[in-house]
C-alpha cells in the first residue's frame, strides 16, 4: 500500500495560491484541496524531495506542516471534502453520494479521487466555462491530459461523436474509465500516452495541463488540429500567457482570447 504525505500550507494570500499549486505540481504533487486561506497538497512519500520543498517555502515565505497518510485514507479524505461543482447554469459535477444537480444543462457524475480535474480548480472551471461557447456537434475531439475525464465527458454530452482522451498517469486512466462508464458515454476512447502524438486529426483540442507540457507539444497539437479547428488550453498562470502566445503563433495558430480566474488563465487559438 502506497504511503502519501499531506502538506498543509496556511495563511495563503489569494495571489499566492495559483503560483504555489503550479510550483508544487512541478515537484510531483498530485492532488490539492483549496480553501480561502489554506492549501492541502498530496504527494507519494517516495517522490517527496524535502530540500526542494524547503527552498520553495523559503522563496515564497511560507510554512507548512506534514502528515503521513495511507492511500486508502487519502481517498476517504478526498471524498469527505469533495463538494459539488457548479459552473453557472451550464454544468454541474457531483459524486454519487450527492443529490442530483437539477438546475444545470449538463450534469457529470464522477468518483472523486486524486486525479486532477474535478472542476474545483480554476483551470478546469475555466475550460468548462468556455466549452459552452464552442460547437461540439458531430465533432472529433482530443482531450490531452484528461485527468478525471470531465472535459471528455462534457464534450460527448455537447454532441461530439468521437472523443480521444489521453493521460500519462495510470490513476487518471483508471479514474477516467470509471467516470466515462458512470456517465454512460459511448464515444470516448481512453489511452495512456506521454505526449500529444495521436496520429489522428481533430476539430477541437482540449488541453488542460501546464506550461511546460503545452510548450513541448505545441507543434504536435497544431499538426493534429484540422483547418478551422479550435485549441482551448489551460493549466496556465497569467505570467505564462506571452510564452504560450508566441509558441502557438510560431506553429501557425491564431490567438483568439484569454480568460482569467484566480490568477490562472484559459486561452483559445484557431487554425
Per-residue pLDDT of the chain (271 residues; tens, 9 = 90+): 568 888 999 888 877 887 888 888 888 887 777 777 888 888 888 889 989 999 998 999 999 999 887 765 556 665 666 677 889 999 998 887 788 888 999 999 988 665 444 445 678 889 999 999 999 999 999 999 998 899 999 999 999 999 999 998 887 898 899 999 999 999 999 999 989 998 899 999 999 988 889 999 999 999 999 999 999 999 888 889 999 999 999 999 999 999 998 788 999 999 9
Q: What are phi and psi of 141, to 5 degrees?
A: -125, 140
Q: How many CB atoms lie within 10 A of CB 261?
A: 15
List, in order, residues 6 or more apart from 164 with CB less than 8 Å away.
Answer: 141, 142, 143, 188, 189, 191, 198, 200, 202
Positive/negative CA dihedral, 6, 11, 80, 22: negative
Q: Cell numbers of 53, please? A: 520543498
Task: Round to whole Å and give the CA distance between 216 and 180.
Answer: 28
Q: Hunting for cell 510554512 — which residue is that?
A: 63
Task: Round to whole Å and give the CA distance between 8 and 240.
Answer: 26
Which of 99, 161, 155, 162 shows the shortest CA–CA distance to 130?
155
Task: Round to whole Å and give the CA distance between 169 and 193.
Answer: 8
Of the CA atoms within 13 Å of residue 193, those in its CB half-sphere come to 18
Which of 169, 143, 144, 145 shows the shortest CA–CA distance to 154?
143
Can you give the pTM of this predicted structure? 0.78
Cα torsion 239, 245, 246, 252 to 10°: value is 170
Task: Round to whole Å and give the CA distance between 260 and 257.
Answer: 10
Amino acid at each position: 500500500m502506497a504511503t502519501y504525505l499531506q502538506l498543509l500550507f496556511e495563511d495563503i494570500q489569494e495571489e499566492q495560491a495559483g503560483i504555489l499549486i503550479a510550483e508544487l505540481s512541478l515537484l510531483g504533487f498530485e492532488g490539492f484541496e483549496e480553501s480561502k486561506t489554506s492549501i492541502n497538497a498530496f504527494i507519494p512519500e517516495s517522490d517527496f524531495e524535502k530540500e526542494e520543498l524547503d527552498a520553495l517555502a523559503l522563496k515564497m515565505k511560507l510554512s507548512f506542516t506534514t502528515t503521513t497518510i495511507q492511500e486508502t485514507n487519502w481517498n476517504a479524505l478526498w471524498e469527505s471534502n469533495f463538494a459539488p461543482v457548479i459552473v453557472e447554469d451550464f454544468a454541474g459535477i457531483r459524486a454519487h453520494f450527492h443529490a442530483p444537480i437539477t438546475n444545470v444543462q449538463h450534469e457529470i457524475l464522477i468518483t472523486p479521487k486524486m486525479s486532477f480535474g474535478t472542476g474545483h480548480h480554476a483551470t478546469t472551471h475555466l475550460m468548462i466555462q468556455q466549452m459552452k461557447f464552442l460547437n461540439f456537434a458531430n465533432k472529433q475531439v482530443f482531450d490531452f491530459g484528461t485527468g478525471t475525464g470531465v472535459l471528455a465527458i462534457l464534450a460527448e454530452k455537447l454532441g461530439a461523436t468521437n472523443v480521444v482522451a489521453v493521460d500519462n498517469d495510470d490513476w487518471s486512466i483508471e479514474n477516467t474509465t470509471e467516470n466515462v462508464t458512470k456517465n454512460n458515454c459511448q464515444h470516448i476512447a481512453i489511452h495512456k500516452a506521454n505526449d500529444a502524438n495521436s496520429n489522428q486529426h481533430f476539430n477541437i483540442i482540449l488541453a488542460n495541463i501546464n506550461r511546460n507540457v503545452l510548450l513541448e507539444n505545441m507543434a504536435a497539437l497544431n499538426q493534429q488540429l484540422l483547418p478551422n479547428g479550435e485549441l482551448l488550453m489551460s493549466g496556465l498562470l497569467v505570467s505564462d500567457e506571452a510564452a504560450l502566445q508566441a509558441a502557438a503563433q510560431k506553429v501557425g495558430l491564431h490567438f483568439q482570447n484569454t480568460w482569467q480566474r484566480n490568477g490562472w488563465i484559459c486561452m483559445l487559438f484557431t487554425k
